[in-house]
């Protein structure tokens, strides 16, 4: 019976099994491992997989981060947020959970080659 598992390190997942779900991806196992080993401050990395025994059926990298709302604001809104943060710093920070690697341009949820298009939709 398939089960969803979450890992704190991609090294806990078989390299070949992960890469089988990500054929032709430059941002593959080795890339994600290098990003993980860089220990970028403030990012908590995770790796979600659907497994059937030792077979990785689907996988995606993920991360958690405290997101400062002033980051993407500008002008008067940014000044107001920055002033308010001096009074209540955590009030304008959101805990974000994202399916993707923070160091990639995409949000891959990839599947083992045994899945056809219909099975992926299910």
pLDDT score recorded for residue 118: 47
pLDDT score recorded for residue 2: 86
Query: Which contiguous run of DSSP H or E holds residue 119?
Result: helix 117-121
Coil/strand/helix, residue 41: coil
- Structure tokens belonging to residue 37: 């080993």
Query: Which contiguous run of DSSP H or E holds residue 65?
Result: strand 55-68
Closest-CA residue to 49 (of 96, 102, 112): 112
**Structural domain boundaries in the chain:** 3-65+96-117
**CA-based end-to-end distance of the chain:** 16
- Whole-model pTM? 0.76
Residue ranges of the chain with pLDDT lower than 70?
Answer: 105-108, 115-122
């Amino acid at each position: 019976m398939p089960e969803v598992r979450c890992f704190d390190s991609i090294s806990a997942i078989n390299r070949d099994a992960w890469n089988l779900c990500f054929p032709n991806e430059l941002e593959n196992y080795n890339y994600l491992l290098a990003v993980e080993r860089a220990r970028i401050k403030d990012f908590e990395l995770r790796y979600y997989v659907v497994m059937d025994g030792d077979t990785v059926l689907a996988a995606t990298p993920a991360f958690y981060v405290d997101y400062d709302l002033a980051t993407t604001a500008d002008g008067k809104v940014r000044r107001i947020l920055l002033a308010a943060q001096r009074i209540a710093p955590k009030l304008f920070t959101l805990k974000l959970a994202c399916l993707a690697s923070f160091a990639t341009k995409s949000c891959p949820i990839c599947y083992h080659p045994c899945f056809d298009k219909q099975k992926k939709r299910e």
